[in-house]
Structure 1
Amino acid sequence: MFRLCFIVIFASISVNAKPNIVLFMADDLGYGDLGCYGNTSVKTPNIDKLATEGVKMTQHLAAASLCTPSRSAMMTGRYPIRSGMASSNLMRVNIWPYSACGLPPSEITYAELAKDAGYTTALFGKWHLGVHSETEHNVHHPLNQGFDYFYGTLGTNMDDFGPETKVVTLSRPYWYWELFSIWSVTTVALICLCRARYISVFTCVLLIFLWSMPVTLVYWVFDNVLLFSSFVHRNYDLVEQPIRLAGLSQRLVQEGSEFIRNAVQADKPFLILMSWVHMHTFIETGKAFTGKSNLGRYGDALEELDWSVGEILKLVKSLGLEDDTLVYFTSDNGGHVEIAPDGGYNGILRGGKAHGAPDGGIRVPGMIKWPGVLPKGTETDEPTSLMDLYNLISSAVGQQIPDDRTVDGRDILPLLQGNTEISPHEFMFHYCGNKLQGARYRPRTGTNTWKLVTYSPNLIPGRDICQFVCSCNHAFVLDTPLLYDITSDPGETNPIDSNSKQYKDIVPVILEAMKQHKNSIEPTTSQFSFRKVAPRFDWQPCCNGTFPFNCYCTDPKFPE
């Protein structure tokens, strides 16, 4: 009898030792957007409550300042360049969901670790890590990357999803004129050759026709991003085209809530990633939030995001799961400062989304609540990373970190619990695409964190922004790298004198670490070659017709 009771008690402890896991990831949320990070203009009580009930990280860093590479790092615990998710060209994110670009199946996501540990797993909202490979359909799909259920968008939200503007003209205002000029110059040249009788009239007409086809195709593709990229899927099924952005947050909340209830009914621990479309543009909220805030539609969307987080947390509490649930909140990268007032606010931090090394693009809000494991209402100013989530989840679910690859995430539990005062990251590396543009150094003594910057973004002269997004290829190498004491100078406004002993002592250490890091990168297939990122017309779905005709439908589960 005593032995039986011991077995029952031990089994109960083992089950409770595996917490449910609720992950919240915002899109392009600025470091200074939340009340708990100093914003007094918009109300975010539900998210702020996570800071008072858990641990708030003030130097929480993304591995990239754009969505796709940052999310790949968060999912795998590895710098994007290790898995081919760091671009060498202008296209740094997966614009076209139905291209061959995506997270390689050889990568092991934290969802796979949780699933192997007996968890039921789900992703709601934005994926943005691909669908098909060049040789296999759905290989990059969330259902083949560790998730049991998926509802949301395989791509991302874009300005083209609204009626006001297009991404291509925001990035290149004279894009259509450039395209027309290229076509015109070539066409005129061909006509001149024809008139000079270097080529026949037939050849001239044929060449003009053949030349016009790719130009027309490029124009059509970039002018119809809504058709190519705006979808809602439930698992593998296309259920909505294009996305109804108004009310999408409410639908994600309902889907997520249903999954949690089903998991509880099945008596299984669950891991869900609520990957919100907010705060990415085009911004459109449900009727209940339109005009609600004092900061226009960005503020409206921020308050809707806070409500969405609150609804999930309220459900967890009502089901009696609060004390057995690990909750994490963050953003994939910093706010998009070039599109104010529709972009995020990064506080005193320099730069923003897509800028590469500046902290405005890579330092993001980060809060973790884990009752009984982490203290309440504490804060750490030590460097931490989105990649550390991988290690945290592996510990929570009782799985080993894969030992056949380099994992860049670190075990931050001792830091969050207050058992150590120094970050496990001695060095952290800051990329723009596949270019290493800077690094952080947290010495094993003292309290300071140092940041070395070797590149500067291609900023508009006299301003601290780029033209819509910064280009990695147009960033320029600094003749003398800039060193900052990022602990006392988070705005990167006062570089250390390059002639000082401090500079000469610290910079060689960081440069050597950057060199060693580069040497640790093993060759891998880039997911951002032109062939992989180009849209595949033969793969494009059309829910109510034959692509590209009559591609309109509304999710029958949510008809209104």
Structure 2
Amino acid sequence: MSRPNALTRRQVLKTTLAGSVAIGSAGLNGVARAQSGPPNIVFIMADDLGYADVSCYGQRDFETPNIDRIALEGLKLTQGYANSSVCSATRIGLITGRYQYRLRAGLEEPISGSARGNPDIGLPPQHPNLASILKKAGYHTALVGKWHMGFLPHFSPIKSGYDEFYGIMSGGVDYFSHKSNPADEKGELYEQETSIENHGYLTNLLGDRAVKVINERARNGKPFLLSLHFTAPHWPWEGPHDEAESRRIRRLMHYDGGTQKTYREMVKSLDLNIGRALQALDANGLADNTIVIFTSDNGGERFSDVWPFTGTKAELLEGGLRVPMLVRWPRRIAANSTSDQAMISMDWMPTLLAAAGAAPDPAHPPDGENLLAVLTAQAQPHPRKLYWRYKAFGQRALRDGDMKYLRINGNEFLFNVADDPRERANLKARDKDTFERLKADYEAWNRTMLPEIPESNTHAIPGRVRADRYGNPSKD
């Protein structure tokens, strides 16, 4: 079967040539070591991407051939969940393998700019995490893209186990100026812990750096973790040719901008740069023993397609939580396969550690589950029990098997999300025993987490800026 590819001929040749030079300069020994030892890991995360925003999950208005290639050559999970319906909370769950509500920073939904300089709001550098444990196991670790787990001087990727970092510390920046506030004097692009200035469309800059990291790691031969966390397609709504829009807007969360066409160009640029990373793995002979994961940090935003679900970012309806989830590992995972195993962001930490021959810190046991046996078809899918909490509108959710307990703004529901993924038929009265059992189970779990606090940030979608949320209180 042919491999779809969105790269232009010039880009393919450029990436392939760079990889060929890398192999030639290092000889074949480095490649042989990389292919025979522990797997490399390339963890690709999109930002605010909806479940059906890529064609292998149902997007009909445009194609995402490079993302689809990961599905074609690997495994597509149909029940992938984010740890939260906003970004920094999910990222904390992902990297620690634990419910984010166990940490003070995880109570932020998300971490906002007002947390700059706050020594309490960020991923504690001493907390074991995916990067720090892999580093101790002999991996080179790199984060390219979005961090969003605390600000300098107290927090950074370098302080939490990454050997190298290129990207942004905050939750979002302009794609051209790289500023989190258009009125700022300089952008927020970092190399390690130093602010730098690079010109260009941010998605392309992150793609450039990802290719560079892969080429350098191929020469070294040491196993590596590349966390490639794009900011796309998070607002501001700017495609690769929208620099004029960058100059126009006065606030990144610009409610007077964006179109479906702009969003399409942002996702296509994301797909293109993912293709460049895949090509770099091919060119360097690393693809066979590299685990490639693609997912999103939460459900889609205002221009996203979340079909067949309802809801959006900042909501615990399925559309705010369900995300694309793909994994490719040619050595161990069957190509063009599908699984209905429910999997959540925090499962990746124990799963990837197991694949690398490492183990979580026993003082911080993961809440996530090691699903390596399921992904490699050595075990059958099985039911899960997963919990969520979101401060805005008092949202609560528990999925137990096919059943889901949900509370939003004081209203309570029971859904069978397997039969009713759009969450329309409220079974609360019809199946009262299940409703009461799940509600009690949720409350017992919630008592084991840190409590919500008044001072933590939470993001809600106000009715004054989005007509389809007309019932929401009109405040940010």
Which amino acid counterpart does residue 399 of structure 1 have in structure 2?
A: A
Q: Does 1:329 align with 2:308?
A: no
Pick from 219, 228, 232 the counterpart of residue 278 of structure 1: 232
Which amino acid counterpart does residue 353 of structure 1 have in structure 2?
A: K
Partner of 1:250: 204
Partner of 1:305: 270
Query: Is the CA contact (8 Å cut-off) linking 1:54 and 1:376 kept in structure 2?
Result: yes
Query: Is the CA contact (8 Å cut-off) linking 2:175 and 2:203 kept in structure 1?
Result: no
Kindly provide the CA deviation profile for residues 495-549 of structure 1, in whole angstroms up to 9, marking residues without a partner as x.
Answer: 22x333xx1332233223213312322679x79658xxxxxxxxxxxxxxxxxxx
Q: Secondary structure at the match of 1:85?
A: helix
Change in Cα spacing, 1:432 to 1:103, as seen in structure 2 (3 Å) is: same
| Structure-1 separation of matches of 2:34 and 2:273 | 31
Pick from 419, 422, 435 the counterpart of residue 378 of structure 2: 419
Query: Larger radius of gyration, structure 1 or 2?
Result: 1
Partner of 1:319: 284
Partner of 2:463: none
Pick from 100, 106, 120 the counterpart of residue 140 of structure 2: 120
Kindly provide the CA deviation profile for residues 179-234 of structure 1, in whole angstroms up to 9, marking residues without a partner as x.
Answer: xxxxxxxxxxxxxxxxxxxxxxxxxxxxxxxxxxxxxxxxxxxxx56528941011
Partner of 1:453: 406
**1:436 Cα deviation (Å)?**
5.8
Partner of 1:508: 436
* 1:431-510 to 2 correspondences below 5 Å: 431-433=389-391, 437-442=396-401, 449-454=402-407, 456=408, 476-478=409-411, 481-496=412-427, 498-500=428-430, 503-510=431-438
Q: Secondary structure at the match of 1:48?
A: helix
Which amino acid counterpart does residue 221 of structure 2 have in structure 1?
A: D
Which amino acid counterpart does residue 99 of structure 2 have in structure 1?
A: Y
Change in Cα spacing, 1:511 to 1:523, as seen in structure 2 (3 Å) is: closer
Partner of 2:29: none
| Structure-2 separation of matches of 1:104 and 1:370 | 31
TM-score relative to the length of structure 1:
0.68
Q: Does 1:348 align with 2:308?
A: yes
| Structure-2 separation of matches of 1:311 and 1:320 | 14
**1:162 Cα deviation (Å)?**
8.2
Kindly provide the CA deviation profile for residues 76-110 of structure 1, in whole angstroms up to 9, marking residues without a partner as x.
Answer: 1111110123437xx63323573322112242220
| Structure-1 separation of matches of 2:405 and 2:309 | 15
Change in Cα spacing, 1:28 to 1:522, as seen in structure 2 (3 Å) is: closer
Partner of 2:156: 141
- Aligned residues, how many? 410
Change in Cα spacing, 1:418 to 1:266, as seen in structure 2 (3 Å) is: closer
**1:320 Cα deviation (Å)?**
0.7
Partner of 1:155: 170
CA RMSD of aligned residues (A): 3.0
Pick from 33, 41, 44 the counterpart of residue 24 of structure 1: 44
TM-score relative to the length of structure 2:
0.79
**1:406 Cα deviation (Å)?**
4.1
**1:113 Cα deviation (Å)?**
1.3
Q: Secondary structure at the match of 2:222?
A: coil
Q: Does 1:384 align with 2:343?
A: yes
**1:418 Cα deviation (Å)?**
3.0
Kindly provide the CA deviation profile for residues 89-143 of structure 1, in whole angstroms up to 9, marking residues without a partner as x.
Answer: xx633235733221122422201111111111111111111123xxxx3x31100
| Structure-2 separation of matches of 1:150 and 1:33 | 28
* 1:156-305 to 2 correspondences below 5 Å: 156-158=171-173, 226-227=183-184, 230-240=187-197, 246-287=200-241, 295-305=260-270
Which amino acid counterpart does residue 499 of structure 1 have in structure 2?
A: A
Query: Is the CA contact (8 Å cut-off) linking 1:114 and 1:393 kept in structure 2?
Result: no
Query: Is the CA contact (8 Å cut-off) linking 1:327 and 1:368 kept in structure 2?
Result: yes
| Structure-2 separation of matches of 1:265 and 1:159 | 34
| Structure-1 separation of matches of 2:183 and 2:288 | 43
Query: Is the CA contact (8 Å cut-off) linking 2:92 and 2:106 kept in structure 1?
Result: no
Change in Cα spacing, 1:288 to 1:162, as seen in structure 2 (3 Å) is: closer
**1:417 Cα deviation (Å)?**
2.6
**1:379 Cα deviation (Å)?**
1.3
**1:411 Cα deviation (Å)?**
1.3
Change in Cα spacing, 1:499 to 1:98, as seen in structure 2 (3 Å) is: closer
| Structure-2 separation of matches of 1:389 and 1:17 | 20
Query: Is the CA contact (8 Å cut-off) linking 1:20 and 1:271 kept in structure 2?
Result: yes
Q: Secondary structure at the match of 2:48?
A: coil
Query: Is the CA contact (8 Å cut-off) linking 1:87 and 1:527 kept in structure 2?
Result: no
Which amino acid counterpart does residue 492 of structure 1 have in structure 2?
A: E
Query: Is the CA contact (8 Å cut-off) linking 1:42 and 1:295 kept in structure 2?
Result: no
Query: Is the CA contact (8 Å cut-off) linking 1:349 and 1:491 kept in structure 2?
Result: yes
| Structure-2 separation of matches of 1:60 and 1:282 | 26
Change in Cα spacing, 1:385 to 1:508, as seen in structure 2 (3 Å) is: same
Query: Is the CA contact (8 Å cut-off) linking 2:34 and 2:286 kept in structure 1?
Result: no
Change in Cα spacing, 1:516 to 1:97, as seen in structure 2 (3 Å) is: closer
**1:295 Cα deviation (Å)?**
4.2
Query: Is the CA contact (8 Å cut-off) linking 1:110 and 1:390 kept in structure 2?
Result: yes
**1:276 Cα deviation (Å)?**
0.6
**1:254 Cα deviation (Å)?**
1.7
Higher deviation after alignment, 95-104 or 379-388: 95-104
Structure 2, unaligned stretches of length 5 or more? 1-31, 245-258, 458-476
Q: Does 1:95 align with 2:113?
A: yes
| Structure-1 separation of matches of 2:322 and 2:310 | 10
Q: Secondary structure at the match of 2:324?
A: strand
Change in Cα spacing, 1:347 to 1:230, as seen in structure 2 (3 Å) is: farther
| Structure-1 separation of matches of 2:395 and 2:286 | 43
| Structure-2 separation of matches of 1:376 and 1:312 | 19
Which amino acid counterpart does residue 403 of structure 2 have in structure 1?
A: W
Change in Cα spacing, 1:263 to 1:506, as seen in structure 2 (3 Å) is: same
